[in-house]
Structure 1
Amino acid sequence: MKNSITILLLLFTVSVSTAQMRKWTLQECVEYAVEHNLTIQQFELDLENVKIDKSDAEGAFIPSLNANASVSERSGLVIDPNSNSNVAGKIFSFSPSISSNMTLFDGLRNVHRLNRAKLNAIASQYRLDNLKDDIRLNVANAYLLVLSGKEQLKSFKGQYAVTEQDLKKTRELVASGVLPQGDLLEIEATAANQEQQIVNGEGNVLIARVNLAQLLQLTDYENFDIAEEEFDIPPSDILKNSAKVIFDKALTFRNDIKLSESNVELAKKDVQIAKGAYAPTIGAFFNYNTFYSNQYQIVLDPTTNTPLLFRSDFKDQLWQNDGISYGFQMNVPIFNGWSARNSVKRSQISLEKAKVQFEQDKLALENTIQQAYVDVSTFEKAYEAALKSLEARTLAYDYAKERYDNGLMNAFDFSQAQARVDNAKADVIRTKYDYIFRLKILEFYFGLPISLN
């Protein structure tokens, strides 16, 4: 029984540890970041507010309907609502009413406000989608930095393993008197330098992992890691398209460009709304009211022609004392301190600014794509050059190792050859992921989803 409990506890511990050490793929990181990013959540709430604004604009076309009721009791010299005369005493009264108002014409401002609200909802959606695009790029870049750091760390450890073998062999040769003590010290210095590289590499990987976790709004940094994936340079035909072709296509779907274009349309609606203040406003109204009072009325007896005190009951008074009023009203603006004219001028200035910003955004996008296009070509050549350099450095290292093993090269020259190989391997890894990321940026501007496959 005790052994069974122990096995169950071990299985539970293993399952918990496995759950904590989840390995994240790039796709999982991107999807999680988009779903849980706090700024995105704020923008989504802003979008809900914009939808409410649209509902407000639609409600402006519907007549308003309001009910009102007042209950009061007065004493002393009061006005009798039935006879409209001053009387002494105490009066209890109840006055309900219903009113309705509707705007028939206001210079089409309600129409323009509704159209503006619709445009604003579209613009807010573009703003939200543009933020998601930026987060996808940032997450992909952070993910590739972790991958690059991990590959460099593997390279450092592999180099250190080779150096350990050389160090062991050198110790034997020094002990046997074949090599001088200085060669052993040189190899030990090389091993110490590589150990320092491993420590720095582990720190770089940790920092890269923390940065990626922060983009995902995760705080359990110790148990966060990415999947052990290796990526080669993905095949791509993006460079078959010119930078101009990529830019022209980006203009058709980029959310930042659509947002900027929507801001121009919003500014045009603001001008139309402001100009509507020049026109007369026509409205319709309807009111229904009645009242009840506990005061007695003096009436003549039809048979004896003598005065009698009489008070109708509550329901009868409401029917007897009701009244209806309805009609139209018009307000014609004549002079209002130039507020309408100045409002139009401000709206026109805002429109011109939105147009200028739209052109600036297009120019910025074109510059970004041109730079991305040049970066892809540059980093592709840098990666190819790094591969050639590594190949040459590896051949030189193999030759140097052979000479060193045969006692034809001292330890200092051999360590220099090894350091050049180490640097060449680091350059290959760095330029590889730089090239991959620039390639994905350019594909992203061409409308292709972010994927390393």
Structure 2
Amino acid sequence: MSFKFTAPIEKNIKTGTIVAGQKLLRHPAALLAAILFLLAAPVSAQDSTWTLADCLHYAQVHNLSLQEQEIDLRVARMNYQVSKLSHIPQLSLASSYGASFGRSINPTTNQFENTRFSSLGLGASSNVLLFGWFQKHYTIKNNGLSLEQAAQARQQSGNEVAMHVTTAYLRALLAKEQIANVRYQIDISREHKSRMERLLEAGRSNMLEVSQARTQLATDSGLYYSAMLHYEQALIELKAILNLDFTVTILPVPVKDYEPPFYSEKTDPETLYLQAAAQHPDLIRSGLGVNIATRELKIARAGSLPQLSTYYATGTNYSSSFYEMLPNGERQLMQLGRQLNNNLYHSFGLGISVPLFNGFTYKKAIRGAGYDIEKAKLAELVARQRLRQNIYTAYTDYELTLKQYFVAGSVAEHAKNSFHGAQVRFDNGLITHVEYLTEQNNFLKAQNEVTALKYDLQFKKIRLDCYRTGCGE
């Protein structure tokens, strides 16, 4: 949020002269105080305005479900990066230091001694897989596909959150417009109640008609509070989805590019399905599931193959009880460097592992992987069928709701004319008071029906565009 400050210029109402801007500029302290006052002032209504795009962008970062999906994505990325290092040969270093008391084996002489001594050991070993790395290779590929799958799952969750945000946002706009409709109705009812009370005082009405007018005003007031309740509930739901502080003020505004007039969808549902199938995260994830299952079969088959590896190890040790004989016949403790050099050893070898009989574990794994491929292919078909069904349903809903909207608009226009005509006829005593109130209620009902269908159309149009280009865009 940025603040743009300009020196205020006030106009003296009495003298008509400019009195403020230049004074502030001549007094830096006053100018600084004015800036601090503006920064500390409450946020204006304009700053509380949230467009649908603002809500969508905020939700993509702060929504709790998406944050959880982001962690899953990081875990998948970590698994993939770690698995890529499995091709690197194993290398380990070891060291030990200890003290022995009583009868024990001297590590340098490999003989039992009944003495007290300390010993030091150093060693290193390495192992390299020469043949049989197919399991590791396919596992790395699978972890890469799992990473892509996690990314698509994150995208799918983002799309679902975007639709939840859109639903709550449009619900708030619907309630807001219905509040305006009821306020207009209340103004009419309040004016009519006052008029009927004046007619009663003049002897041209009766208490029944006055009571009916008061009842109508009370009923409209109840509708107003009901609309206010729906508005606040929609905002609370929206803030919960956004993971936004409930004390923050949100003022929704009409969604650009989705205001009336509405037009029939130009793209047929099958074409729309083909567009969506190429980029829909659920379908992409299902396709990746088939690839993962196929590689799992390769991993299972690779587990039954022989493995050939080579190893190398080296080490040395030192003991405080290892003495050497001097030419003069005396004994002295051999120095650390000489002991480590004299006791240095190396070993090298090849190892082969051939699975012969293990209770048909590998055969079971291979057969199970084959079944998993069939299940993954069926899951992909189910996902495609579900997407096609959803698109055809959304397309049909939009087209039929569009027709309902046009009909409701015509009904609302006729109800408006009927109500205005009823006002004239009632003023001239041509219809009863009950007939007048009936026309008034029909007018409000028609207005609310048009309003509800308008936002229903907006949601269904946004849903179609979501299939076409992706949600949250």
**CA separation of 1:333/1:238 partners in 2, compared to 1, >3 Å: closer, same or farther?**
farther
Q: Name the SS of the counterpart of 1:207 in structure 2.
A: helix
| Greater mean alpha carbon deviation, residues 259-268 or residues 230-239 | 230-239
Query: Which residue identity is paired with 1:318?
Result: L
Query: Aligned residue for 1:38?
Result: 64
**CA separation of 1:234/1:185 partners in 2, compared to 1, >3 Å: closer, same or farther?**
closer
Query: Which residue identity is paired with 2:52?
Result: L
CA separation in 2, counterparts of 1:82 and 1:357? 65
**CA separation of 1:285/1:13 partners in 2, compared to 1, >3 Å: closer, same or farther?**
closer
1:155 is displaced (CA, Å) by 0.4
Query: Aligned residue for 2:23?
Result: none
User: Superposed, which structure 2 residues align to 1:124-203 within 5 Å?
Assistant: 124-203=150-229
**CA separation of 1:319/1:390 partners in 2, compared to 1, >3 Å: closer, same or farther?**
same
**CA separation of 1:15/1:296 partners in 2, compared to 1, >3 Å: closer, same or farther?**
closer
Query: Aligned residue for 2:359?
Result: 337
1:300 is displaced (CA, Å) by 7.7
Query: Aligned residue for 1:261?
Result: 287
> Match for 2:132 among 106, 121, 124?
106
CA deviations on 1:167-203 (whole Å, 9 max, x unpaired) are 2222222222223332222222211111111111111
| C-alpha contact 2:158 2:472 (8 A) present in aligned 1 | no
Query: Which residue identity is paired with 1:320?
Result: N
1:80 is displaced (CA, Å) by 3.8
The count of aligned residue pairs is 441
* Structural RMSD (CA): 2.5
- Runs of 4+ in structure 1 over 6 Å off: 7-10, 235-238
> Match for 1:407 among 429, 432, 445?
429
Q: TM-score, normalised by structure 1?
A: 0.91
Query: Aligned residue for 1:224?
Result: 249
1:218 is displaced (CA, Å) by 2.1
Query: Which residue identity is paired with 2:252?
Result: A
| C-alpha contact 1:21 1:225 (8 A) present in aligned 2 | no
1:219 is displaced (CA, Å) by 3.6
**CA separation of 1:83/1:441 partners in 2, compared to 1, >3 Å: closer, same or farther?**
closer
Query: Aligned residue for 1:273?
Result: 299
| C-alpha contact 1:291 1:317 (8 A) present in aligned 2 | yes
CA separation in 2, counterparts of 1:401 and 1:24? 40
| C-alpha contact 2:262 2:402 (8 A) present in aligned 1 | no
1:444 is displaced (CA, Å) by 1.1
Q: Name the SS of the counterpart of 2:186 in structure 1.
A: helix
CA separation in 2, counterparts of 1:449 and 1:41? 18
Query: Which residue identity is paired with 1:176?
Result: A
User: Superposed, which structure 2 residues align to 1:421-432 within 5 Å?
Assistant: 421-432=443-454
> Match for 1:390 among 408, 412, 421?
412
1:394 is displaced (CA, Å) by 1.1
Matched, 1:121 2:143: no
| Greater mean alpha carbon deviation, residues 16-25 or residues 374-383 | 16-25
| C-alpha contact 1:119 1:266 (8 A) present in aligned 2 | yes
Query: Which residue identity is paired with 2:96?
Result: S
> Match for 1:380 among 399, 402, 405?
402
Structure 2: gaps (5+ residues):
1-29
> Match for 2:438 among 416, 441, 444?
416
| Greater mean alpha carbon deviation, residues 318-327 or residues 73-82 | 73-82
Q: Name the SS of the counterpart of 1:330 in structure 2.
A: strand
Query: Which residue identity is paired with 2:466?
Result: F
**CA separation of 1:236/1:345 partners in 2, compared to 1, >3 Å: closer, same or farther?**
farther
| C-alpha contact 1:163 1:191 (8 A) present in aligned 2 | yes
> Match for 1:87 among 113, 117, 123?
113
Structure 1 vs Structure 2: percent identity of aligned residues? 23
| C-alpha contact 1:93 1:292 (8 A) present in aligned 2 | yes
